[in-house]
Amino acid sequence: MSSTQKATKSAPKKTASSTQKRTGSAHKTTGATGSAQKTTDHDFIRRWAEERGGRPARVAETAPGKSEGRKGSGGILRIDFDPPDETLEPISWDEFFKIFEENRLAFLYQDRTADGHLSRFAKFVKRD
């Protein structure tokens, strides 16, 4: 076996962090199907949602001016899937990510279910 073949066989696997230098996100992958992962990468979050038919939204009751207790927060973010949830208010991706950053959130998501199907599990959590 040549030294080139040896180097190819032992080359390290690419990690998610190498693709995130551009955004400084906390995108992490565990590689295990069915496990939750976390990111702050706006492009990834938008792509993940749109691949599943999701749209940016916030809980309508928490929109600015509608809830005294959450004033200034921009509202509670959600990804809305079909059929549309009547309790959610559609917002633009720009507004969505403005609220996301103002509240220092991270996106906790599952790419695939344990049985390999595309997952729509996601929630927003405070960044560490």
Write the pLDDT tens digit of every residue in 14-28.
334 333 333 344 444
Q: What value, to the nearest 5°, has the Cα angle with vertex 93 and ends 88 and 95?
A: 75
Torsion 79-98-74-126 (CA) sign: positive
The rounded percent of the chain whose pLDDT value lies above 70 is: 67
Mark the ranges of the chain whose per-residue pLDDT is less than 50: 1-31, 69-72
